[in-house]
A and B are shown apart, each in its own frame.
Chain A
Amino acid sequence: MANGMIYLMLKLEEIEKLAKLARLEIPAEEKETLRKEVGEILEYLGQIQKLSPKEPPKEAGLVRNVFRDDREPHPSGEFTEALLANAPDKEDGYIKVKKIL
């Protein structure tokens, strides 16, 4: 069965790859537990694949503008201090991060 195969096929390397994509550093001793748990859960979730392969048409939804009018901007800097107060690293009114390049 397809979902059973997916379960068996979920390798440690896959967990590592997913964790890297999701920017999660998983401690080595937790990887095996995670592989087993995620494998079991995915096997359970796989049951929806048993449903008739004929997929119902997806609803596109009514297209309507959900954005509010871009008016009455708040004074520049009004929230800067409060927002910056929450940042772990900051300098001269900016959020500070390590260099990217």
Chain B
Amino acid sequence: MIDLKTLTIRKAHEHLKKGDFSARELAENYLAEIEKKNPELNAYLEVFGDVLEQAGAADEKIKNGGGGVLLGIPFATKDNILIKGRRAGAASKILEGYVATYDATVIKKLKEAGAIFLGRANMDEFAMGSSTENSSYGVTKNPHDETRVAGGSSGGSAAAVAADLALAALGSDTGGSIRQPASFCGLVGLKPTYGAVSRFGLMAMGSSLDQIGPLAKTVGDAEIIFNAIRGQDSMDSTTISEKTYSVENLPKKFVIGVPRDFLGEGVDKKVLENFEAGLKKLQQTGAEIRDIELPNIKYSLPVYYIIMPAEISSNLARFDGVKFGAKISGANLLEDYMKTRGQLFGKEACRRIIIGTYVLSAGYYDAYYNRAVAVRKLIADDFKKVFASGVHAIATPTTPSPAFKIGEKTSDPLQMYLADIFTVTANITGLPAISIPSGFAASVDKQLPLGFQLQAPRAREDILFEIGKKFEKI
């Protein structure tokens, strides 16, 4: 038996190279864990039938002395990322039966690196949600406490890695969908700079916000995956090159900004205590902690919940029962559309399409959408000013509370939205952000993981990794 609990990508790579175990044995160990735990956790929607064949091919390459650090490493991938020839459904009934016709760029890169794909991870339908309770195929449970959510929308990816059903995973993050589940499940989650990773082959949700990123056990693992999937792509015109933003050397001494005014209301006491302890840790590494002001950050959540549904209402127009997926037939073409969309989109998808349609409709466009776009600029300028003043990274908790109970927020969509308060800013501003495990909050009989979030200037993932590694060591 391989000790999966303490395994990291780096360690697995060393073992594979030395021949301590084969990629096939590693994959078999993960498949055994999946068989044991997935029926209860519901992290995977599908486990691929050819995992051992993939692993066998990796072993061949290892034997021939080739391959990099990801060769033979077993991944879970979120159900909204396309792998050619395999089902992909974004956990939605409207894509029932859909088979991807091409590889997403991130998949192409991971395939070239020799990674193994174990299966499709559960998620909130079309990545809309903070708990995977909006999946059409049932909630994913938190491995640390099965009465609680794993977070969302990349909840399946997070639960899979946390429960040793995969060594690492890909998720997508539109307003916190990588970082929040990472925080709830005790993992590292990275939302890269807007444009750092190609979205070609990712089902679009909010196109000015979406990024693909890793969920992993350590900062080092997240960095390995990020370096493997990043880069300009002719198939995604929003991708950036290494020259897009100027990048300086890492500073000798880090200055960490803390937006104190933003941390009071509605944040769990245990979360705040844990956050303060995290700041102390950073001080121990020699960093300076500085209070900062971000005057418009309090408008981040309403700005996000206007821009994001506006983009959803447009992006989800393509699901109409004509080109792909499932269809419910009516008396005429209009009825085909109305029935297919009305009956096969889940409640949250319908809610957001309606809100998006509202904020974009004549008469409300200026009051909502246009205003939100203007305020988005104010928020981005606040961050720019802080970074220009010599701050290298901005720290907040990742979430205002530890993982909540399954069902706790399902009847109140607005309460669910408030769970994204600290994460949406990075998507609005396009900044890279990371969530790092920072300890636990004790509930009645369980230890619930908490996360510490850092945001850095655009293209400065290196700052996040550097501080993150120091943070991890203490």
Chain A, 1-39, CB within 8 A of any chain B CB: 2, 6, 15, 18-27, 30, 34, 37-38
Contacts of A2 in B (CB 8 A): 367
Contacts of A30 in B (CB 8 A): 347
Q: Does B345 contact A (CB under 8 A)?
A: yes
Q: Are B338 and A24 in contact (CB under 8 A)?
A: yes
Interface string of B345-369 (1 = CB under 8 A from A): 1010011011111110100100110
Contacts of A59 in B (CB 8 A): 377
Contacts of B373 in A (CB 8 A): 58
Q: Are A58 and B374 in contact (CB under 8 A)?
A: yes
Count A-side interface residues using an 8 Å CB cutoff. Answer: 47
Q: Are B351 and A79 in contact (CB under 8 A)?
A: no
Q: Are B322 and A87 in contact (CB under 8 A)?
A: yes
Known: A49-B367, A100-B333. A26 touches B101 (CB 8 A): no
Taking the closest CB of chain A, its distance from the CB of B313, in whole angstroms, is 6
- The size bracket of the interface on B is 35 or more
Chain B, 360-390, CB within 8 A of any chain A CB: 361, 364, 367-368, 370-375, 377-378, 381
Contacts A24-B342, A58-B377 supplied; 13 other A-B pairs, CB < 8 Å? A18-B358, A19-B342, A21-B361, A23-B320, A25-B335, A38-B358, A41-B413, A48-B375, A82-B101, A83-B101, A86-B97, A88-B326, A89-B327
Q: What would be 22 A-B contacts, judged by CB atoms less than 8 Å apart? A: A19-B342, A19-B354, A23-B338, A25-B335, A25-B338, A38-B351, A41-B414, A45-B302, A45-B306, A45-B355, A45-B359, A47-B299, A48-B299, A48-B302, A48-B368, A51-B378, A56-B381, A87-B323, A88-B322, A97-B333, A99-B333, A100-B333
Residues of B within 8 A of A (CB): 97-99, 101, 234-235, 237-238, 296, 299, 302-303, 305-306, 313, 317, 320-327, 332-339, 341-343, 345, 347, 350-351, 353-359, 361, 364, 367-368, 370-375, 377-378, 381, 413-414, 417
Residues of A within 8 A of B (CB): 2, 6, 15, 18-27, 30, 34, 37-38, 40-42, 44-49, 51, 55-56, 58-59, 66-68, 79, 82-83, 85-89, 95, 97-100
